[in-house]
Chains A and B, each alone.
Chain A
Amino acid sequence: MSKLFSLNSLFSLPFSLKKGFSHGVHPPHHKEQTADLPIQRVPFVSRYIMPLGQHIGVPSEPVVKVGDRVHRGELIAQPKGFISTALHSPVTGKISNIGMHRYVDGSFRQAIEIEADPYATQQFVNTHNNVFNVKDMNIEQFIDAVQMSGIVGMGGAAFPSHVKYSIPDEQVITDLLVNGAECEPYLTNDHRLMVERPEAVLRGCEILRQKLNAKRVAIGVEKNKPESICQLKNYLTDDMAIDIVPLEVKYPQGAEKMLIKSIYNKELPAGKLPRDIGIAVNNVGTIVALADYFDHGMPLIERIVTLAGPGVQEPANLIVPIGTPIRDVLDFAGGLKEQTREVISGGPMMGSPIADLDAPILKGTSGILAFTEKETSRPPEYPCIRCARCLDACPYFLNPSRLALLGKARLFDEMQDKYNVMDCVECGACTYACPSNIPIVQHIRTAKDNLRNRKVET
């Protein structure tokens, strides 16, 4: 739907009177394709690939060797250091290889390859022997348990969750913020989770709130998901210190800082973490993974993936064992249409293109989207005419027009010193808004990579 006249922006004020974040863009939601499709389970396939470094931080260390028989949910790699997490076998079978394997971006990475046992029941067996009594755990035990559960941020970043829960002694968490905004177009995996398992969402919230000693929980959900909001409210009881907060539908509402601004009306200072102002932020998927681990002993071995986009034969929301090759997941949904030109993992605004369909589904894969010629073809790039639409789009109030120009000239230092390029979270709103089709966020990524690498060298 194209908006011909936008009176809204005409009368927008230079300062913000209302709650919520300023700027941002309104891409079409495209959620209708999968929003009403119940979550289905993907059947087991013959081969699984578990990259050791699929989270942010140090890659895990294998504790199995080739030929070992593993059960579904059994530990196959342990964390190496604190900012690292565990890996568990998604399937009962045999370790067939430990070596380099194609990763989604086309590079090769260390991975454990597991051959599924075709005769196994594939039933999850709780190998922990001890049933968790999460209530009596102290915070150190809780953090250790989360690290050994392999749980990472499920929204896409895949940052080990236990690191987030390790709060320095001098800091106090007052609020737990649960991110159910799901502002990326096409994706509905969080939505379906909230609709189908609201009790698990609320249970996870309560577990984490108690462990972090937070006073209240806020679950932020964009208003275009009324069913989610309604379901969560239905299961909410008076003894839970949980608020369901409907949010304005605007991209990037689900970005951590924007979410904090929208819900608490606080501006998180640059370079600070949410915990510095007493807030812990978690995705709904992560929260449900916590509930599943502490209630049923199930580590992170599967996740919900949205399969959508105009290039997919049968869009779906699927429970996929982590490590399943993307190609197998696509085959389950009838494969790709002939016209497919690009497949991406994650949402269309911040996701990354998939170079090899044999790469596996990862802990952070929220969606697999396929696009055709129509969405991927671009008009030619015109010069920047300084229309300032990117400035009006940037929720961080950066100057993308200037950054793109400096980036093209490779003036990275000026980008950092004068225009704070490092504050950019690469949400892509500027590039979405650019009428000249300038790949602004690309120039910014290049600059940030260069600046980071330079830091390592010196």
Chain B
Amino acid sequence: MESPASQDLKKMVVERRYFTFAQPPREMILECGARLGPITLAYETLGRLNASRSNAILVCHAFSGDSHVAGYLHEEDERPGWWDNMVGPGKPIDTDRYFVICSNILGSCVGSTGPASLNPATGRPYGLSFPMVTIKDMVQAQKELVEHLGIERLMSVVGGSVGGMQVLRWCVDYPEMIVSAIPLATTIRHSAQAIAFNEVARQAIMADPKWNRGDYYDNPGPSLGLAVARMIGHVTYLSDHAMREKFGRRLHRDALSFAFEGDFQVESYLHYQGRKFVDRFDANSLLYITKAADYFDLERQGGSLLVNEGLAGVCFLVVSFSSDWLYPTYQAKALVSALKKNGSDVSFCEVEAQGGHDAFLLPSERLDGLIRGFLGRVYDEQCG
């Protein structure tokens, strides 16, 4: 039964849409040289595009996210989108004021084309015949969508982690299309440590016999390997402090089992996260997206791609989190240092947070204030 209060608060219902492009023979040419098409992107929009089409904000999701950034997919939907605390009416990314777009990344499995999609050439899922996509390719696909929506310039591109890499790739590839950028908890090049964790996650999947070299779509699939991969990921998203606070050495049974049953709460938490992930994510997508993150390097060609005159007019808000050891603050500072050389308008804050890498997704008055203030200024000065 609905309580009177929940009847008053009408749910913000968002519709998931699909955009298909790159129909053969005009396939998209990927960074690796392969051709891919047709490509479908699942996307959702919130708020209204203003008459001058100047209030559009693109939100880029992190590695396991999807297009459902905020609100509910239907009236009975219990779970809001992944950034519902940040995006919505009156929230820092205010949908009363801005037009928000979020699409599922190329290579993922939540509505957009990825290794689990049917290959039109064979009528079977791509599996490992799916070409290696990079962050650059994901961003190129997003650009097609943005243009399809009739938007020439984005007021802002916002994202954390792998989403932050997309933000930075937008800056490098399409600086003329963006007014401002908010890269959160991210890096300009994936570190050896980050690659190492990704490789362990991939090996967990590939060592599962049910993975079958990526050809498992007619069978149950490598659920054990995928669960272990997610457990590893979760460890890197937390922090020593967060784990100590959340679990300590507490047991999830009455006494030590003196067996390998899983004694500690932290173990059962990781098992639960692993199991939950298997229900919603494709193992091959994890392989492809982690590889795209590992390939991400804006300093590869000697000298930073971010040192670029085209970025002189772009405003930046760079945010790192003090307990994030996956993309530590020194990496955000390297980004800031490169951007300063362009004469870009750059703000930077290292938010004091104990949550580890995950902190960018957790409710935080500090982060709310930063994003609200920054976007408000950009809108008033350049888009209003």
A binds B: no
Chain A: residues with CB nearer than 8 A to chain B? none
